[in-house]
Chains A and B, each alone.
Chain A
Amino acid sequence: MSKDLSAPLLRTARLLDLVPYLNSNQGISVQDLAKDFGVSTAQINSDLTTLWMCGLPGYTPLELMDLEFESGYVTIRNALTLSKPRNISFDEGLALMLGLELLQQQIPLERKDLQTKIELLKDRFANQIGVPRAVTVSLAINPAIISPLIEAINASKDVEIRYHSLYSDEISVRKIAPLAIIEEDENSYLRAYCRNAKALRVFRVDRILSLSELDVELNGADTSMDLIDTDDIESEKIPYTIKIKQPTRDLVERFNLDHLFGENSKSQELTVELSSFSREWIQRAVLATGSDVELLSPPELRKEIANRAQLLLERYA
């Protein structure tokens, strides 16, 4: 169930779920109700009007549900047999079970109280809803990094990080004022003011190798959020063109070409215009394909790639 339900069935499900929700949240505003159920207020009003006509056989005022929602706040009396929430479906149980596991990985082992609680809850789902215990999640990012990082953001504290910059393949130590964590394309990024570079920088959270707290309160002036300008970063993108000689899965994934190869992908030569934030990345990426890709432009990068290949050949000679 879920996404495949037809509109009337979705609405039926919502009506059935509205009753216990109202029963436990008496006096909730129509606006809040609409927000909580992810629909418009007009839709909620129409749902409530329909519910109003529902009840036990007999359908006298005594057997109908008693809803009041005229003043913009909703109360329910006589919720009848629907007063308890419906049972959890498989996908809902799965969402909870995996979420619990994720939580468990982030809570320090010293918190035995919470660890035990979560373990018990997981057992309940495994038994009652038939969600297999073999479904596991592991975090892409190290809890030992992320927890202190969030604490530092909340407390406006500086931290020192050891960071692996992939493109230049260097590890640097930087003092930063962490500002916010952003999620984009499967990855978590940290926006921070870098004290070393005296500028705003974006770091991939999974490339932060270690982190230590500095006991410095940062002065907010030069790190205010409005200094961050994503458009500015965008405009630095470097356009480049590659010729793909032999499409492979590695290429599609490395250069993000999903949209070019649908389900009927054929082996064919193809020229693609792309862009990247980093010259270094473009050169390394083209070299790493072996010779499956030729860089057509920009010409100065073409030359640089030829130089690197020449130099490496001499080393292997």
Chain B
Amino acid sequence: MHTVSRKIERLVNLTIALLATKRFLTKSEIFRTVEGYEGTPETKERMFERDKDDLRTLGIEISVGSFDPVFQDEAGYRINSDTYQLNLGLLSPLDLSLLSLAAQCWQGAALDQAAHRVLRKLRSIGIPANELDIPAIHSKLSTSGRDIEIISSAISESSLLSFDYISKDLGSHNRTVIPFALATHLGFWYVASVDQKNQEVRIFRLDRMIGHVEKSSPQKDFEAPKDFDFYQSLSKSQSNRMAVFDVQKGKGHLIRNLAASSKDLGEWDRLEIPIVSMDNLRSLALWHGDDVLVRAPEELVEMIKTSLQEILADHE
């Protein structure tokens, strides 16, 4: 415990010293002046190398340079305060309030920890937040967003992502994609990407990824599809083939939401539903029982009949 405290103390002292200096500090200067470097030259050397790595892990950038061109072999170190410090330009109390509200959206959700850290940083700026005159809001993000961080950074770099994805039959298949957009919809997170196997746009649900999501090399010449509309892709099924469902008046609201057209038949309505997956349509029809009668295509009607015969046999 004691040595751990000493190490932490040394890291803080090193940060203060490297931030305070106007010029690069050489290793020997650091060992001489910064508290905590003790032991043989080799020990100090090792300590310093580890400390540098630790600070980098904390996101603190240490610049290496030489202050004297004559002694080029003697490297010097410093931390540039521009990269160390929060620099969002001038923030008004209103800006600050909006940012605080933004951070609060993550309560209990995927980036909760990061949001807490950034809230503390915002409160450290020393600008009071405004009481906001904004309408009642209910901001809550879905909790299912695992790996949002790594996926977002892959988007910003156009990096390859690979992961195992649960298929319909519960098998898993490895996918390698270049992601270009991330979105939440109805409580789930989705990533839109270009599948590297066939260069087609594919959307994946984050909670269906299993194991680790791996990010690898950035693809410099990658261009995201321009005409892609995430919301449309998630909420509207697109297909030229239509199934025909007769639905009782006042019933089948889930089906009505999917319909491309509707015709009044009196007690029933005749709806045209774009066919994306036969299995899903069969499921939807069976869920609605006798409020729905499927008219076309014949293939779907047969699937439903077969299912019903099997269900009857199972439960009789």
Could you list which residues of chain A lie within 8 angstroms of chain B, going by C-beta atoms?
Answer: 1-3, 5, 7-9, 11-13, 15-17, 20-21, 23-25, 36-38, 50-51, 53-59, 80-82, 84-100, 102-103, 106-108, 111, 114, 117-118, 121, 124, 128, 130-132, 134-138, 140-141, 143, 146-147, 149-151, 154, 164, 166, 169-171, 181, 183, 186-188, 206, 246-250, 252, 261, 263, 265, 267, 284-291, 294-295, 302-303, 305-306, 308-313, 315-316
Contact = CB atoms under 8 A, between A and B. Distances in A.
A81 B16 contact: yes
Contacts of B75: none
A118 B12 contact: no
Greatest chain A CB density within 10 A among B33, B283, B301 is at B283
B103 A96 contact: yes
Contacts of B293: 315-316
Main secondary structure of the interface of B (DSSP, over half): helix
B144 A186 contact: yes
A159 to B, nearest CB: 13
A45 to B, nearest CB: 13
Interface string B72-115: 00000000010111111100001100110111111010010111
Nearest to A290: B307
B308 A316 contact: yes
Given A36-B120, A121-B99, A124-B89, A103 B34 contact: no
A103 B105 contact: yes
List of 3 A-B pairs having minimum Cβ-Cβ separation, nearest first: A99-B102, A291-B310, A57-B33
A140 B143 CA distance: 12
Given A54-B12, A291-B311, A130 B156 contact: yes
Interface stretch (B38-46, B167-175, B215-223, B262-270): B167-175
A57 B34 contact: yes
A92 B121 contact: yes
A118 B302 CA distance: 53
Contacts, number: 352
B152 A132 contact: yes
A98 B105 contact: yes
A12 B12 contact: yes
Contacts of A11: 8
Interface stretch (B53-61, B62-70, B196-204, B237-245): B53-61
A181 B138 contact: yes
Contacts of A311: 290
B169 A248 contact: yes
Given A90-B152, A106-B135, A290-B283, 14 more contacts: A24-B124, A56-B16, A84-B86, A95-B102, A95-B118, A99-B99, A124-B89, A141-B138, A151-B135, A169-B254, A170-B251, A186-B143, A302-B315, A305-B311
A141 B140 CA distance: 10
Contact of A103 (B20, B116, B137): B137
A166 to B, nearest CB: 8
A13 B117 CA distance: 10
Interface string B150-166: 00110110000000101
Contacts of A137: 141, 183-184
A131 B250 CA distance: 46
Greatest chain A CB density within 10 A among B136, B142, B164 is at B136
A263 B210 contact: yes
A169 B251 contact: yes
B5 A263 contact: no
B15 A169 contact: no
8 contacts: A24-B125, A80-B16, A86-B85, A89-B117, A94-B148, A99-B103, A99-B139, A188-B138
A102 B34 CA distance: 46
B83 A87 contact: yes
A111 to B, nearest CB: 7
A85 B283 CA distance: 54
B236 interface: no
B5 to A, nearest CB: 6
A85 B114 contact: no
